[in-house]
Amino acid sequence: MIVEIKSALALMVTVGIVAACATQHESTTKSQANIQGKVTKPQTGYIYLDKMGMEKLDRVDSIKADEAGNFSFKVPIASPAFYVLNFYNTQQGEFVLGTGDIKVEADGSNPYGLFKVTGSKDNDFFVAYQQLAKAIKKESDSIKMLMLTGQSNEMELERVQAAFAMTATARVKQLVNTNDPSIVSIIAAGMLDSDQEMAYLQEVHKKLNGLYPESEYVVYFGNQLAQLARMAIGQPAPEISMTTPDGKNITLSSLRGKYVLIDFWASWCGPCRKENPNVVRIYNKFKDKEFEIYSVSLDEKREKWLEAIQKDGMAWTHVSDLKHWNSPVVQLYRVEGIPLTILVDKDGVIVDKNLRGQALEDRLNDLLM
């Protein structure tokens, strides 16, 4: 699951994570970290050091390199944290800083030039994570391209996606498990499925909390996991009470006694509209077998919402507060993208998530036929 900080931290804030066997690590006792740096192409102006907080960048210090391009920072450290070096507002580099000394080499004149950090196991882990994340994204994009270009049928794509997810999970876990427990584990976890890996993530947090209980990253991670756990499979689906197209208020709990697919969508969402024919077909197959759909629209224009319902032939329960992404239900259900589906049983308990097409039909066959 993610914040308004840039790159690495932005991923971290999304949630997910992994652990490693507990080994000796840097002390959380407040001490000093030394940064020794070399800019190969020094420019006129300052080099800035910023700490990446959960909400913003905090300026730590600034300095000018000498004529040979050498510079240094001495930083008070309570626990490892993510930092950014900004060279003359031209080049930026992210890294992890814990207690101890590190060396930095940077171009200084090219946004994509040399940036290398040595002397830190945490940062070595961070670099390995970046490489893995880049590789996984490239593979994921290639699968999405198959879908967009229609080079594979739906069943084949589902098989490829399932195999890819399994392999990616194994690679992330291997990376985390072969490194000491680190705050980098938190951002690596952003690539894991929290529904499938919740117990694993909670164990990771337990280890990190034992090392860095006051770290803002670890505290945030713990809070995010607690929220995710409330939306985990096997938990009661939070109550929703919203307005139907005819102005009536209908709650999710009023549909108890049926299996209910909570379907988050919007008229402006292309993938949602593309999936709607499958949802219509599946609804018509199961509507007489104690099955209902509770569609929650993230629209903000009533006429567009109603037009899409009619045009796509969606003859089931629809609700919306027309507040777009500002709807309270977005935060309540941690909606980060649509379409999103959540299947609940007759007692209102979550039994599955993110089912579409054949996967949804197969699951309903198991439950209702």
CATH number for 111: 2.60.40.1120
Same domain for 291 and 158, yes or no, is no
Q: What is the pLDDT of residue 145?
A: 82
Asked if 128 and 260 sit in the same domain, the reply is: no
Expressed as residue numbers, the domain containing 328 is 241-368
Q: Tell me: do 205 and 245 sit in the same domain.
A: no
For residue 335, pLDDT beyond 70: yes
Residue 164's SS3 state is helix
More confident residue, 3 or 57: 57
Q: What pLDDT sits at residue 100?
A: 82
61 and 181 together in one domain: yes
* CA dist., res. 152 & res. 274, Å (int): 16
- Closest alpha carbon to 220 in 322, 128, 82: 82
Average pLDDT of the residues of the chain: 89
Q: Quick check: is 235 in a domain? A: no
Q: The pTM is what? A: 0.75
Domain count, the chain: 2
Asked if residue 367 lies in contact with residue 249, where contact means CB atoms within 8 angstroms, the answer is: no
Closest by CA position to 182, among listed 26, 29, 13: 26
Does 225 share its domain with 250? no
Could you give the residue ranges of the DSSP H alpha helices within 119-242?
121-149, 154-177, 184-188, 194-211, 216-230
- Both 223 and 258 in a single domain? no
Boundary (domain end) residue, out of 230, 255, 273: 230
- Of residues 26 and 254, the one with the higher pLDDT is 254
Percent of the chain whose pLDDT exceeds 70: 91
Let me know if residue 128 belongs to a domain: yes
Query: Residue 28 domain-assigned?
Result: yes
Residue 291, pLDDT above cutoff 60 = yes
Q: Following CA atoms 347, 287, 322, 312 in sequence, which dihedral angle do they give, to the nearest 10 degrees?
A: 160
Longest dimension (CA), the chain: 79
Question: Per-residue DSSP letters for 311-348?
Answer: HTT--SEEEB-S-GGGSHHHHHTT--SSSEEEEE-TTS
Integer Cα distance of 97 and 284 in angstroms: 57
In a domain, 195, yes or no: yes
Residues 171 and 292 in one domain: no
CATH of residue 319: 3.40.30.10
pLDDT of residue 106: 98
Separation in Å, CA 106 to CA 50, 113, 120, 265: 16, 7, 16, 46
Q: What is the per-residue pLDDT across 114-127, written as a single tens digit (0 to 9) for each?
A: 999 999 999 999 99
Q: Which of 173, 207, 230 is the last residue of a domain?
A: 230
Do 170 and 316 lie in one domain? The reply is no
From 170, 196, 230, give the residue that closes a domain: 230
- What is the band of 30 on the pLDDT scale with cuts at 50, 70, 90? low
- The answer to whether residue 236 is domain-embedded is no
Is 59 within a domain? yes
Q: What is the pLDDT of residue 3?
A: 26
Find the angle CA(360)-CA(364)-CA(369) to the nearest 5 degrees. Answer: 150
- Is 97 inside any structural domain? yes
Work out the average pLDDT over 132-145.
90
Same domain, 254 and 199: no
On the question of pLDDT at 161 being above 60, the answer is: yes
* Residues 221 and 245 both lie in one domain: no
- pLDDT tens across 48-107, in order? 999 999 888 999 999 999 999 999 999 999 899 999 999 999 999 999 998 789 999 999
Are 119 and 182 in a shared domain?
A: yes
pLDDT of residue 6: 31
Strand pairing category for 47-52 and 81-87:
antiparallel
First-last CA distance in the chain? 34
Q: Are residues 62 and 209 in the same domain?
A: yes
Query: Tokens standing for 139?
Result: 């593979």
